[in-house]
Amino acid sequence: MTFVIRADATISSGAGHVMRTSVLAQELMKLGYPVTFIGDVEQIPWVREYIRNLGFTKILRSVSEYIQQNLSDTLILDSYTINENDVFIQPNRWKNILSFIDDATPSYKANMYVHAGPQTNWKPPVGFQKSDFFSGIEYIQLRESLVVNKRTPRTRNGLPMILISGGGSDPNNFCKAVYEILNKSQLEFNALIFANPFNIRSDDRRFTFGEMGIALEENIQNSDLVFSTAGTSSWEYIFLGKKLGIGLGYENQRANYEFQIQNRLAFDIGNFTSAHRWNLIDSKIHHQIENWAAHESIHPLVDIKELASGNQTLVKLLISRH
């Protein structure tokens, strides 16, 4: 009996699918269950290394490499791009299927659905309306390493430490857009930018540039202020108590974006427009840097302790049905 993760991480789709499923996989592996990962992660090197080091029983790039011995295996699926009629993900091949979903997810057939976020309009396909459906911020998947190592930031030289990240692959160049605003300012700060390489020729000592991966995870803890898109990682910043400025990068981030702003978990700094450019609000970015120490400026209207509290529910359900 094996749990099988099926998810991809690409430049265009980001790393969210892989990160959500890997958190659940890690919980299962801790309990001694064999877990196989199947997916293409070659486009994003830091995700490839993350998967290699997580402890999977097997790591396969293609479903053609997976040899299913019986029908007692459980599939954990997270994707926007796998065709809903793909033979590999059909219920007749699995004992159980758990599908992570949001508004952009195809009509996958499963007996368990998980929406890890505040709200969704997604509906199960015909014949699967009675499947178990779990939805809410308590089902958001937070990396164990961040939760366990949560700590107070270390401020350098009395200046704010700003972390800037556009998610797992930053396909819309969010980091570059924020950098261009900060580079023109006269504000004093220390900024760590984690993004795909973009051409910068600057001797401005306020900025340090790093590659996505372990270095980002280590520096999240030491940041006072974060600028990010409203994807999966935004919830990790909120859990860690970071003062967070978010931009709306994709329509499938809208539920996170609106919920976080309305509930004062983050402040709005703009959005990626239909003209394929960032419309960021310079004044809001400058204001938050100038008032970086005023943590009382954000009063959450929800209990952030709810984040990830539903993970154990999912793990127990998967084991009980396995």
DSSP-assigned states of every residue in 3-65 = EEEE---BTTTBSHHHHHHHHHHHHHHHTT--EEEE---TTSHHHHHHHHTTT-SEEESSGGG
Residue 84 clears pLDDT 90, i.e. is over it: yes
pLDDT band at 148 (very low <50, low <70, confident <90, very high): low
Whether 138 and 10 map to the same domain: the answer is yes
Whether 249 and 209 map to the same domain: the answer is yes
Percent of the chain with pLDDT over 90: 64
Question: Which amino acid would we find at residue 71?
Answer: L
Whether 134 and 203 map to the same domain: the answer is no
Whether 195 and 81 map to the same domain: the answer is no
Whether 61 and 191 map to the same domain: the answer is no
Residue 200 clears pLDDT 70, i.e. is over it: no
Residue 58 clears pLDDT 50, i.e. is over it: yes
Whether 132 and 152 map to the same domain: the answer is no
Helix (H, G, I), strand (E, B) or coil at 311: helix
Dihedral, CA of residue 266, residue 270, residue 274 and residue 276, to nearest 10: -110
Q: Is 306 left (phi over 0), alpha (psi -120 to 50) or beta?
A: alpha
Whether 167 and 74 map to the same domain: the answer is no
Displacement of CA 133 from its chain's centroid (Å): 20
Split into its structural domains, the chain has a count of 2
Whether 94 and 159 map to the same domain: the answer is no
- Mean pLDDT, all residues of the chain: 89
Whether 13 and 153 map to the same domain: the answer is no
Report the CATH number at residue 96: 3.40.50
H helices of 162-309, in order, are 174-184, 214-220, 232-239, 254-262, 282-290
Whether 113 and 24 map to the same domain: the answer is yes
pLDDT band at 106 (very low <50, low <70, confident <90, very high): very high
Whether 134 and 161 map to the same domain: the answer is no
Rounded distance between C-alpha atoms, residue 210 and residue 168, angstroms: 13
Q: What's the mean pLDDT in 210-233?
A: 83
Whether 193 and 235 map to the same domain: the answer is yes
Q: What's the mean pLDDT in 189-204?
A: 77
Instruction: Print the domain residue range for 231.
Output: 146-305
Q: Which of the two residues, 36 and 149, has the higher pLDDT score?
A: 36
Q: Which of the two residues, 317 and 75, has the higher pLDDT score?
A: 75
236-266 per-position pLDDT tens digit: 899 888 899 999 999 989 999 999 999 999 9
Report the CATH number at residue 154: 3.40.50.2000
Residue 296 clears pLDDT 60, i.e. is over it: no
Displacement of CA 136 from its chain's centroid (Å): 15
> Which residue carries 């400058």 as its tokens?
286
